[in-house]
Amino acid sequence: MSAFLSYVFLGLSLAAPIGPINAAQLDKGIKSGFFYAWLVGVGAVVADAIYMFIVYLGVVRFINTPLVKTFLWLFGSFVLIYTGVESLLNAGNIVINNARSKESMLKSFVSGFFMSLLNPLSILFWLGIYGSVLAEAAAAYDERQLIVYSSAIFTGLLLWDVTMAAIASTFRRYLTARVLSVISLLSGLSLVVFGVYFGFQGIKTIFL
């Protein structure tokens, strides 16, 4: 049981560092509420699960090819900048009420999914951290236990998703519209900064 909990904690640790997903969840929760922020995180977790499966199968060489890396950097840059600019443009339109958002919940899920799927830092993170964890666990446990402990990591990711969605929706409920607009602006700006960084890295891989 203690080993299972330690892998849950590992999942929480992987999701917790401030990055584009957390910024997007905060922004979405402020504007639209808990479920929209939660779906951004669910989309990201599904993308994480895909990479967990890829690492589990050992398909690492394909992702490490220069062409694929460049595509991930550049397309990831586009997704982040687009989402960030959209957030900046809509930051002044936040209205505090209990009415349902007109935005599609599917859009929240898709944005979280592609933001994580096309995030090279996330990919390197999974290849490095999960790859090493898997290698270490494989030496000590059988295949069934590997699946259980991988599920524990996945559980940690989902717990963080719920936590971020709850924090974001709580901010929306108790803060003034002006403060929420400022937070939304900062979230959008952080997404644009991450996007510019990704784009710079993608351009660098072309010329190096």
**Confidence category of residue 117, pLDDT binned at 50, 70, 90:** confident
**Confidence category of residue 99, pLDDT binned at 50, 70, 90:** very low
pLDDT in tens, 185-201: 877 787 788 788 878 88
Tokens 């808990």 correspond to: 34
130, 153 contact by CB (below 8 A) = yes
Alpha helices in the chain (DSSP H): 2-15, 20-32, 34-57, 66-90, 105-117, 120-125, 131-140, 143-174, 177-207
181, 67 contact by CB (below 8 A) = no
pLDDT in tens, 130-179: 665 665 566 566 667 777 877 888 888 888 888 888 887 787 777 666 77
Q: What is the largest CA-CA distance in the chain?
A: 54
pLDDT of 109 > 80? The answer is: yes
pLDDT of 97 > 60? The answer is: no
pLDDT value of residue 39: 92
What range defines the domain where residue 135 resides?
2-207
Number of domains in the chain: 1
Q: What does pLDDT average to over the chain?
A: 75
